A and B are shown apart, each in its own frame.
Chain A
Amino acid sequence: KAGVTQTPRYLIKTRGQQVTLSCSPISGHRSVSWYQQTPGQGLQFLFEYFSETQRNKGNFPGRFSGRQFSNSRSEMNVSTLELGDSALYLCASRPLAEDYEQYFGPGTRLTVT
């Protein structure tokens, strides 16, 4: 079975722009979570989607949003990028919403200049 895939792997954007990151979960997995990883703040939970519905949300500003499609693929969007948004964005999938074991993708490295 293929693992979680994230595209693109690397991205460079300018302050004020917006960006969309994509995550394809493991086949059959219906829950997708997103995390931001930075040297200063560590790994922080962004949000989680199951069956196209956002179930949990972390403490991030409204500039961070996401969605999930009927095929379980998920996208996250960051609008009006700030320098502090530079991070590794990780996506994780799990089979069902109540499953506690999740599988991570390789991440998208976003650099904001």
Chain B
Amino acid sequence: AQSVTQPDIHITVSEGASLELRCNYSYGATPYLFWYVQSPGQGLQLLLKYFSGDTLVQGIKGFEAEFKRSQSSFNLRKPSVHWSDAAEYFCAVEANAGKSTFGDGTTLTVKP
């Protein structure tokens, strides 16, 4: 069965600083990988996805993620964080269409 680990429960960065959120997955084959963002009381918004091909994927809001098969990782990055990026971020893997497995999430706090 697939699993997702987000090692950092909470991360605080200063506005304008760079950001990297870690995600490690466990799955036998090439997974379909996703990053979502959730603001308080809201649903999940898809930031970016990796299905195949180029291992560096670009998403919305200036986010990007790099798939590293050798490390079973799919880390999310942003060069310069804005105060509006404060939210909870979830990494997910999907082996069967329609059934996602999520990490426990990383809460991002942005200091002014």
Contact = CB atoms under 8 A, between A and B. Distances in A.
Contacts, number: 63
Interface residues on B, range: 20 to 34
Contacts of B103: 42
Given A101-B46, A105-B43, A42 B99 contact: no
Contact of A104 (B32, B44, B99, B105): B44
A99 B105 contact: no
A104 B47 CA distance: 12
B112 interface: no
Contacts of A97: 97-98
Given A43-B90, A104-B43, A106-B42, A48 B102 contact: no
A48 B46 contact: no
Interface residues of A, number: 28
Q: Decide if the interface of chain A is mainly helix, strand, loop or mixed.
A: strand
A98 B97 CA distance: 6
Contact of A33 (B32, B41, B98): B98
Give the 7 A-B residue pairs with the shortest CB-CB distance, closest first.
A48-B98, A104-B43, A43-B102, A104-B44, A56-B99, A106-B43, A100-B32
24 contacts: A4-B43, A33-B100, A35-B102, A42-B102, A42-B105, A44-B102, A45-B99, A48-B99, A56-B96, A56-B98, A94-B98, A98-B97, A100-B51, A100-B97, A101-B49, A102-B98, A103-B46, A104-B43, A104-B44, A104-B46, A105-B43, A106-B42, A106-B43, A107-B42
Interface of B: 32, 34, 36, 41-46, 49, 51, 90, 92, 94, 96-105
